[in-house]
């Protein structure tokens, strides 16, 4: 029997505790995790590896997750990659940060319940 193709999930988070928690949850779901703590690191991973999902913090030390989102959507190879944008700063989002026109992206407000987040991941990864 052939092994299934690994489903790579990029977690872009600059908070170590949150990154570890999300990594544990994704691995418990049988997903392979790749981590980045910055916009720059995320863009390097996006350019170098196929991804099934990106979990993307909005507020990062060297920019914001929307920079990564725009870069992902601009490339034909990655344009259809599902993205879960995560933020605790919901009131600081700008008008141009609206995800309503992007059916492959969802906004998840921190703190979130893990079971709810797992449902979001399942929906984004559904064929």
| Percent over 90 (pLDDT), the chain | 65
Count the Cβ atoms, other than its own, within 10 Å of residue 29.
14
Question: Using CA atoms, how far apart are residues 26 and 12, in angstroms rounded to an integer?
Answer: 13
**Residue 3 domain flag:** no
DSSP 100: T
**Residue 116 domain flag:** yes
Beta-bridged to residue 85, according to DSSP, are: 56, 107
What is the CATH classification number for the domain harbouring 59?
3.40.50.2300
Contacts of 57 (CB under 8 A, 6+ apart): 12, 13, 14, 15, 18, 65, 86, 87
- pLDDT tens figures, 33-70: 999 999 999 999 999 999 999 999 998 989 889 899 99
The reported pTM is: 0.89
Helix (H), strand (E) counts: the chain = 4, 7
**Residue 2 domain flag:** no
User: What is the domain range of residue 64?
Assistant: 8-125
* Domain count along the chain: 1
Please report the pLDDT score of residue 1 as a whole number: 39
Helix (H) or strand (E) holding 27: helix 16-28
39 exposure class (CB count in 10 Å sphere: 0-12, 13-18, 19+): buried
**Residue 73 domain flag:** yes
Task: Please list the pLDDT of the chain residue by residue as tens digits (127 residues).
Answer: 344 555 899 999 999 999 999 999 999 999 999 999 999 999 999 999 999 999 999 989 898 898 999 999 999 999 999 999 998 876 565 545 556 677 888 888 888 899 999 999 999 998 7
């Amino acid at each position: 029997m052939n092994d299934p193709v690994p489903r790579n999930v990029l977690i872009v988070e600059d908070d170590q505790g949150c990154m570890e928690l999300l990594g544990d949850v994704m691995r418990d779901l049988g997903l392979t995790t790749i981590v980045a703590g910055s916009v720059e690191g995320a863009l390097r991973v996006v350019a170098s590896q196929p991804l099934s999902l990106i979990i993307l913090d909005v507020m990062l030390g060297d920019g914001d997750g929307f920079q990564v989102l725009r870069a992902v959507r601009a490339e034909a190879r990655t344009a259809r990659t599902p993205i879960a944008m995560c933020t605790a700063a919901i009131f600081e989002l700008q008008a141009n940060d609206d995800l309503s026109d992007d059916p492959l992206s969802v906004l998840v407000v921190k703190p979130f319940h893990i079971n709810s987040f797992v449902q979001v991941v399942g929906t984004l990864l559904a064929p």
